[in-house]
A and B are shown apart, each in its own frame.
Chain A
Amino acid sequence: MSSSAPSAAIPAEIPRHEDLVNERLVAWYFIASLVFLGTSMLAGLHMALQLVHWNPCPDAELLSPGRWRMVHTNAVAYGFLANAFLGMLHWTVPRLTLRPVASSALSYFIFGAWQFVVLSTAAGILIGPSLQDAPWVMELAAKYNISMSLGAQGIEWGETPVWIDPIAQVGLLLVAINFMVPISRARGPMYVTLWYFMAMFVWTFLVYAMGNFMSEYWVGGTSGGAVGGLFIHDLVGLFVTPLGWGMMYYFVPILLQKPIWSHGLSLVGFWGLAFFYPLNGIHHFLYTPIPMFLQYGAVIATIAVEFVVTTVIINFIGTVWGQGKSVYRSLPLRWFYTGMIFYFLTCLQCALQVTLTFQKLIHFTDWVVGHAHLVMFGVFSLWLFGVMTYLFPRLIGRDWWSPQLCEWHYWLSTAGVLVMAFDLTLAGIFQGYYWASLQMWDVSVDGSMPFWITRVFAGLAMLGGFVCFVWNLVMTYRTAPAKGAVAAV
């Protein structure tokens, strides 16, 4: 259903797309994100090979899998996801608000500054521990009486060295300003995408400060650990999730050429996330000295989020109802809806695994690793691949060089992550039972080996899909014939 007459909130004369969207910057962000995703996948493969005793460079300190595991997670979160989302924001926010970002110069500055932050983080993680004990570093530290902590910060997903944290924090503030200016100037009731984005700008700034500064400078010991747990979970729920859903609400109606089934229901999803999600992180502290009623509160809030997620899923199913074939025919839509199914599965998994009964079995096992891959790759990366598959032809003005390679990218990525998640989930259950039966540690390691070998091949499939995508992109840019301004994928 669509209204025939333009609504009052849309002016009769609207700005040109070219005056709103800086396409070059969108492309730059996407390309930077792909570079970091490639790096992250290679780092993940390196760690996977280490676990099956096939480490190709066992004696190289700088290639130590322990360091590259942190590069793997940080490159995905801050290099791939953040860059790709920033590119997507530069496309969607100006088109939704009909106003350009606050400053184009600021956008370019943020782009450069963000790459500096991510590269410095990688350098700090890889080189920092080696430099830490160098005589000249110790001399400087003694001379100026400062702690020269060059390496990783001891916070999961907050390993950015402490000297980079203030720069990243200021960067997040600048990002918020750059996008909040057009959002605040937009007239009339806001579309749900803008609600999600607006909340994300505030949440991310606060979450980053909480995770990187509170536990480093003010709250130590077990309290710092508690804050760290909140940080990990809020990074997913309050940074990546609102961006992901906001993006889905923007692109799916455009691709289907019909509005979202119920805007009211979408707002229920948004406000449910806003009120229930912040308490969820405490479910990382089950069986800790935290008072039990707070742990139960976190369990209930997490299960409540599952109901919220169900409203969102119902909304998207309602939107595609009657046009199911378009999900198969349109590759971007297929990416979106596949990611949505994975999202529902991860949330269902989450509602189960936060219970005390489940935690007894799966805590510290590979179940958690499988869950993390299903969320980060199976959901958000798949959605971003959908956006890139849709937008790259528009950005470079050419159809995809090879639609078959686009298909290979989809099937290898989807099958790879599905196998990996299932494999690691199963591995986690086995490990949990090995430990619960008080067998020797080595027994659980030996028992995990078939699962870890399977994981290597699943990872190779995902990497293969990525190579197909990058090769297709390069060939599209170099050889495909130019086409009209608007591409249909």
Chain B
Amino acid sequence: MLLLALVILVPSCLGFANKFFEFVMLFRGDADGAFAITPILNYLLAGFGFLLMFFWAAMNGMFHDIEGPKHQHLEREKMLDRGRG
């Protein structure tokens, strides 16, 4: 599985990095070049933030008992409604 992930991810990342480098070359401090660079920067920033959050969630056991929260949700609702005055 890991090997398959590497086979897919490594060439994809290299291809993307190569194209992104071309992008930066296109930009080269030209004000109009921002047209090309702004959307991809927005995406990279948002994507990177969520990649960090994904790793944080995985490391904090958020995916261990992956079906647990759906049962807790209903139990909690029942308990809250039982105690509702």
The answer to whether B70 touches A191, judged by C-beta atoms less than 8 angstroms apart, is yes
Q: Which of B61, B67, B84 contacts A18, CB < 8 Å?
A: B84
Tell me the complex Cα distance, A456–B2, Å. 57
**Residue B64, interface by CB 8 Å:** yes
The answer to whether A206 touches B46, judged by C-beta atoms less than 8 angstroms apart, is yes
A416 CB → nearest B CB, Å: 33
Residues of B within 8 A of A254 (CB): 74, 77
Residues of A within 8 A of B69 (CB): 9, 188-192, 263
Report the interface size class on chain A: 35 or more
Contact with A along B33-61 (1 / 0, CB 8 A): 01110111011001101110110000001
Contact with B along A15-29 (1 / 0, CB 8 A): 011101000000000
The answer to whether A230 touches B71, judged by C-beta atoms less than 8 angstroms apart, is no
The answer to whether B50 touches A275, judged by C-beta atoms less than 8 angstroms apart, is yes
Residues of B within 8 A of A227 (CB): 38-39, 42
Main secondary structure of the interface of A (DSSP, over half): helix
Q: Which of B19, B26, B43, B76 contacts A278, CB < 8 Å?
A: B43
Residues of B within 8 A of A264 (CB): 66-67
Residues of B within 8 A of A275 (CB): 47, 50-51
Residues of B within 8 A of A262 (CB): 67
The answer to whether A253 touches B42, judged by C-beta atoms less than 8 angstroms apart, is no
A260 CB → nearest B CB, Å: 5
Q: Which of A3, A18, A98, A282 contacts B71, CB < 8 Å?
A: A3
Q: Which of B50, B53, B75 contacts A10, CB < 8 Å?
A: B75
**Residue A376, interface by CB 8 Å:** no
Knowing A278-B42, A485-B84, the reply to whether A7 touches B34 (Cβ < 8 A) is no
Residues A212-260 near B (CB distance < 8 A): 214, 219, 221-223, 226-227, 230, 250, 253-254, 257-260
Residues of B within 8 A of A293 (CB): 19
**Residue B79, interface by CB 8 Å:** yes
Residues of B within 8 A of A250 (CB): 73
**Residue A95, interface by CB 8 Å:** yes
**Residue B83, interface by CB 8 Å:** yes
A476 CB → nearest B CB, Å: 20
A286 CB → nearest B CB, Å: 13
The answer to whether B64 touches A189, judged by C-beta atoms less than 8 angstroms apart, is yes
Q: Which of A98, A189, A279 contacts B76, CB < 8 Å?
A: A98
The answer to whether B81 touches A486, judged by C-beta atoms less than 8 angstroms apart, is yes
**Residue A489, interface by CB 8 Å:** no
Tell me the complex Cα distance, A277–B38, Å. 16
The answer to whether B66 touches A263, judged by C-beta atoms less than 8 angstroms apart, is yes
Knowing A190-B62, A202-B49, the reply to whether A263 touches B70 (Cβ < 8 A) is yes
Tell me the complex Cα distance, A191–B85, Å. 26
**Residue A267, interface by CB 8 Å:** yes
Residues of A within 8 A of B64 (CB): 189
Knowing A278-B43, A290-B36, the reply to whether A3 touches B77 (Cβ < 8 A) is no
Knowing A14-B83, A221-B32, A223-B32, the reply to whether A230 touches B42 (Cβ < 8 A) is yes
A-B contact pairs, 10 of them (CB 8 A): A9-B72, A16-B85, A189-B68, A193-B73, A199-B50, A210-B42, A259-B71, A271-B54, A278-B42, A278-B46
Q: A203-B46, A290-B36 are in contact. List 8 more A-B contacts (CB 8 A).
A: A9-B69, A20-B80, A190-B69, A222-B32, A223-B38, A226-B39, A230-B39, A278-B47
Chain B contacts to A: CB under 8 angstroms: 19, 23, 26, 31-32, 34-36, 38-40, 42-43, 46-47, 49-51, 53-54, 61-77, 79-81, 83-85
